[in-house]
Amino acid sequence: MLEFFYNFLDSIFLPLIKNFHPALSILIIAFIVSLITTVATKLLVDQERVAKIKEELKNYQKKIKLAQKDPKMLEELQKEQEKMLKLNTELMKMSFKPMLYTWIPIILIFIYLKHVYGYDGLYHQLYPNWNGVVVYLPTIIAKIILLDFWHWLGSLFYKVGFPIVKNALGWLGWYILSSMATSTVLRKIFGIK
């Protein structure tokens, strides 16, 4: 079953993987996944309702801040609290709706990327001297994103694999950064609140 899955995705992505640097291949795959999740969100979530709920919640938070010094006003706002909790619950339900449809494909893409870029994966077999590094980061960016911490955390889970290279990201770190960037841009383009 898994072999069929790998063969199917290899037939789609192998030309990309063989002909481009891993950073570009993973960026393109992250873009495709972000596009699919963004379109799902656009189609499945009422964006006008989301904007209205967010505005109401924002206004309520402003009122709460102002009411900190006025006990009577704070008491009146307590009556609105239940309504705000319901709105917050509605907002959460809306945000989970597209996840129901996109969660499994995203997990499958992670499994596939590990199959390709993980230790002894397809890319490592094609290029045996590859050390697992997808991108090198400037030191300042590595420090900002706490790269040493993430390397340490990863070392707790993966005892065998590529050596840790200072200021470098492997496939997973690069996928996460690429996905965050492409998703942010696409959400703005599609007008998702």
Extents of the domains making up the chain: 2-188
* pLDDT tens per residue, range 61-81: 888 887 777 777 777 777 788
The per-residue pLDDT of the chain, averaged, comes to 90
The H or E element that residue 169 is part of is strand 168-169
For residue 169, the Cα-to-chain-centroid distance in whole angstroms is: 16
Share of the chain above pLDDT 90, in %: 64
Q: What's the pTM?
A: 0.83
**Residue type for 65, please?**
K
Instruction: Please report the sign of the dihedral spanned by the C-alpha atoms of residue 23, residue 26, residue 27, residue 28.
Output: positive
CA distance 21 to 111: 20
pLDDT at residue 160, rounded to an integer: 66
Asked whether the predicted pLDDT for residue 1 surpasses 90, the reply is no
Encoding tokens for residue 32? 């495709």
Angle (deg, nearest 10), helices 71-117 and 2-19:
90
pLDDT at residue 27, rounded to an integer: 97
pLDDT at residue 159, rounded to an integer: 65
pLDDT at residue 69, rounded to an integer: 74
Q: 33 vs 81, which has greater pLDDT?
A: 33
* pLDDT tens per residue, range 79-137: 788 888 999 999 999 989 999 889 998 999 999 999 999 888 999 999 999 999 999 99
